[in-house]
């Protein structure tokens, strides 16, 4: 893993700036920062209420109120370099674990350490493969199902779509939500993902006008999934 001379991306979240260093030469896609994570981070930056009371005219205040009396628990799937997860932490979702496959952990931890001072602490990480029921069970058992499951640019391999949707379903609380930064990367994976996701979740697409104006790329969307009521 070589970070020397790697491109660095700055991401401004409120009054702080995250600095993300990539290893674009690695064979793992997670060691690069992908636009979906920036779009998702800046969408939340735009709408997360800065304080519990500041909810007027904000359609996302209930979803993104990280300063209310109830402490909320979050998890990021396929965190990569951790851009989205770190942004959520800065915006108040402090009970948060960032997950990815083992080979990406070095890049994730490198970036968490790089931003430790800005974040105020080293954030929690965990190795999580979406097809590993033991890992999923251990994460849920360590607390309660998660109020928020965060994921950005994770739909690109058709074979892993079923595991991804199952992991989202297992991890998210019945009254929780999945927040997904999305871009079509494989037509086959895209088709299967939406077929499977629609069976489990009610799906809301964030209008493009609600994305952050400087991070509203035409090909990138943010979706909110909530478990279907049975």
Binding site for ligand SAM (CB under 6 A): 28-30, 33-34, 36-37, 78-81, 83, 100-101, 104, 128-130, 152-154, 160, 163
Contact 4, 52 (CB under 8 A): no
Tell which phi-psi region holds residue 82, choosing left (phi > 0), alpha (psi between -120 and 50) or beta: left
Three-class DSSP category at 118: helix
Q: Which residue is nearest to ligand SAM (CB)?
A: 30
Of 49 and 197, CB closest to ligand SAM: 197
For residue 90, the minimal CB distance to ligand SAM (Å) is 16
For residue 69, the minimal CB distance to ligand SAM (Å) is 30
Contact 162, 135 (CB under 8 A): no
Of 49 and 119, CB closest to ligand SAM: 119
For residue 82, the minimal CB distance to ligand SAM (Å) is 8
For residue 139, the minimal CB distance to ligand SAM (Å) is 12
Contact 223, 182 (CB under 8 A): yes
d(CA 53, CA 68): 8
Of 24 and 53, CB closest to ligand SAM: 24
Of 11 and 63, CB closest to ligand SAM: 11
User: What token pair was written down for 225?
Assistant: 């999934």
d(CA 79, CA 108): 7
């Amino acid at each position: 893993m070589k970070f020397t001379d790697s491109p660095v991306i700055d991401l401004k979240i409120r009054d702080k700036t995250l600095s993300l260093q990539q290893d674009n030469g690695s064979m793992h896609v997670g060691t690069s920062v992908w636009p979906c994570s920036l779009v998702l981070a800046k969408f939340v930056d735009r709408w997360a209420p800065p304080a519990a009371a500041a909810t007027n005219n904000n359609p996302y205040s209930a979803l993104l109120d990280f300063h209310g009396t109830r402490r909320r628990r979050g998890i990021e799937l396929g965190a990569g370099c951790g851009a989205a997860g770190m942004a959520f932490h800065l915006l108040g979702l402090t009970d948060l674990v960032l997950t990815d496959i083992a080979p990406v952990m070095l890049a994730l931890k490198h970036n968490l350490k790089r931003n430790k001072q800005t974040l105020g602490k080293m954030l929690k990480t965990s190795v999580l493969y979406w097809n590993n029921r033991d890992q999923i069970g251990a994460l849920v058992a360590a607390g309660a199902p998660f109020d928020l499951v965060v994921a950005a640019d994770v739909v690109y391999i058709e074979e892993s779509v079923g595991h991804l949707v199952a992991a989202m379903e297992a991890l998210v609380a019945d009254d929780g939500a999945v927040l997904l930064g999305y871009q079509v990367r494989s037509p086959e994976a895209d088709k299967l993902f939406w077929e499977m996701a629609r069976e489990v979740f009610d799906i809301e697409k964030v209008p493009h006008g609600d994305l952050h104006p400087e991070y509203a790329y035409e090909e990138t969307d943010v979706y909110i999934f909530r478990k279907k009521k049975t």
